[in-house]
Amino acid sequence: MKILVINAGSSSLKYQLIDMETEKAIAKGGCERIGLEGSFLKHSGKKSVTIESPMPNHEAAIKLVLDALVDSEHGVISKMSEIDAVGHRIVHSGEDFNKSVLLTEKVIEICKNNTELAPLHQPANLTGISACQKVLPEGTPMVGVFDTAFHSTMPEKAYVFAMPYEDYKNYKIRRYGFHGSSHRFVSEEAAKYLGKDAKDLKIVTCHLGNGSSISAIDGGKSVDTSMSFTPLGGVPMGTRSGELDPAIVEFLCKKHGFSVSECLNYLNKKSGVAGLSGVSSDFRDLAAAAKEGNHRAQLALDVFTYSCKKYVGAYAAAMGGVDCVVFTAGIGEHDASVRYEVIKDLEFMGIKVDADKNKQNVDGINDISAQDSRVKVLVIPTNEELVIARDTQEIVKGLKA
């Protein structure tokens, strides 16, 4: 079975065509600047190419992707009907879905109704779906895989806020959590690696990338997570502030003359380690600047790792223990010094890192815990696309049964 995985953003669209026999991507790429001047597609299949072409909308982008996939020179399939199904990444399930679902008209309608919970991302995801409906052969099954779904197992005490309960009931204001596919994937990989049943493990997963979130996974279920009502909550990120005293919003509005939405844009796009350092949102740039003595770059790194460390401790407390800490995503997989700062000095909790193993670059899973560490510390490359493809395959197989 070949599954096309689509991750549609507002002006971009990433894709992978995954052969489920090997679970490997046989082609992947992305369209950038959709709806803008200078749009292009970067595709790697039989060959890697960059195709500059106008893409006024997502439909045009999907058409270009499909053309690339069947192209005689750089394509990997001979006709579109070789695509057995499409898996779409969708940001928000609201409280309507706790797992991946077949995208029927009714489901798509429910997803549309949840747009107000993710106004920046959900419309783009939905546009990706309708573009595929228009361009792919009729009847190609499509599945929605939600970023929030894995966290639907959180207990009420972890997801409600201390506000009038009616605001939760009436407006669904609560913690949802994001990066669910990644937290699920790496926690399952960790259990496999440790040769244990996920049911018997307490795991803290640290997804540290452009956006970062940390989750507590007890017995294979997410019981808490740092991102919140929106992906602005939790630890500081590249350009997002992470959690703040909410009173700061009004204060900032007054000082800068912002409207509330301008203020949120400021907290989403101009804050985080980029705002704190004044250098960059990229941790490689921060490390280089800090090395040259830039105080604010070092401070941004310290604020980030200190916040992550506190979540590791908090979630161990929340679960009444921890057996394994996992690092994943761009920073978690590649930045040894961030990992070290997050988990050093946690010997009192049974967490001990092997500094040399931590510095090694390993293909696949890297166990960086010291021999005598009670808690395993693992670096696990995430693969959200594979989660989407696996869920899609399972649902589509169910349809045929």
- Name the nearest CA neighbour of 301 among 274, 320, 326: 274
Q: Does 282 bind ligand ADP (CB under 6 A)?
A: yes
- Name the nearest CA neighbour of 229 among 139, 159, 156, 137: 159
From 91-99, 215-223, 255-263, 324-332, span contacting ligand ADP (CB under 6 A): 324-332
Nearest to ligand ADP of 98, 210 (CB atom): 210
From 165-173, 227-235, 327-335, 345-353, span contacting ligand ADP (CB under 6 A): 327-335
Whether the Cβ atoms of residue 186 and residue 328 lie closer than 8 Å to each other: yes
Whether the Cβ atoms of residue 301 and residue 274 lie closer than 8 Å to each other: no
Provide the 3-class DSSP secondary structure of residue 209: coil
Q: Which of 90, 214, 300, 331 binds ligand ADP (CB under 6 A)?
A: 331
Least CB distance to ligand ADP at residue 146 (A): 17
Whether the Cβ atoms of residue 316 and residue 349 lie closer than 8 Å to each other: yes
Q: For the chain, what is the radius of gyration of the CA atoms? A: 21
Would you say the C-alpha torsion 173, 179, 184, 190 has a positive or negative sign? negative
Least CB distance to ligand ADP at residue 283 (A): 4
Q: List Cβ neighbours of 11 (8 Å cut-off, separation of 6 or more).
A: 32, 33, 34, 35, 36
Contacts (CB under 6 A) with ligand ADP, residues 133-162: none
Nearest to ligand ADP of 101, 331 (CB atom): 331
Least CB distance to ligand ADP at residue 27 (A): 19
d(CA 110, CA 76): 35
Q: Which of 189, 218, 323, 335 binds ligand ADP (CB under 6 A)?
A: 335
Nearest to ligand ADP of 202, 207 (CB atom): 207
Least CB distance to ligand ADP at residue 234 (A): 13
Count, residues in the chain:
401
Nearest to ligand ADP of 75, 236 (CB atom): 236
From 6-14, 162-170, 279-287, 297-305, span contacting ligand ADP (CB under 6 A): 279-287
d(CA 312, CA 397): 38
> Looking at residue 117, what DSSP letter applies?
G
d(CA 203, CA 205): 6
Q: How far apart are the first and last CA of the chain?
A: 15
Torsion angle, alpha carbons of 400, 394, 21, 65, to 10: 90
- Name the nearest CA neighbour of 140 among 79, 200, 71: 79
Contacts (CB under 6 A) with ligand ADP, residues 33-62: none
Q: Does 186 bind ligand ADP (CB under 6 A)?
A: no
Whether the Cβ atoms of residue 364 and residue 381 lie closer than 8 Å to each other: yes
Q: Has 323 been annotated as catalytic?
A: no
Least CB distance to ligand ADP at residue 337 (A): 8
Q: Which of 334, 344, 357, 374 binds ligand ADP (CB under 6 A)?
A: 334
Would you say the C-alpha torsion 156, 161, 164, 168 has a positive or negative sign? negative
Q: Does 284 bind ligand ADP (CB under 6 A)?
A: yes
Least CB distance to ligand ADP at residue 179 (A): 8
- Token pair recorded at residue 141: 């099954």
Contacts (CB under 6 A) with ligand ADP, residues 206-265: 209-211, 238
Q: Does 32 bind ligand ADP (CB under 6 A)?
A: no
Report the Cα 76 to chain-centroid distance in Å: 27
Q: Does 330 bind ligand ADP (CB under 6 A)?
A: yes
Least CB distance to ligand ADP at residue 137 (A): 30
Nearest to ligand ADP of 281, 373 (CB atom): 281
Nearest to ligand ADP of 277, 393 (CB atom): 277
Of the candidates 71, 147, 224, 391, the residue annotated as catalytic is: 147
With CB atoms as reference, the residue minimizing the distance to ligand ADP is 330
Which residues sit at the interface with ligand ADP, rule CB under 6 A? 209-211, 238, 281-284, 329-331, 334-335
| Active-site residue list | 147
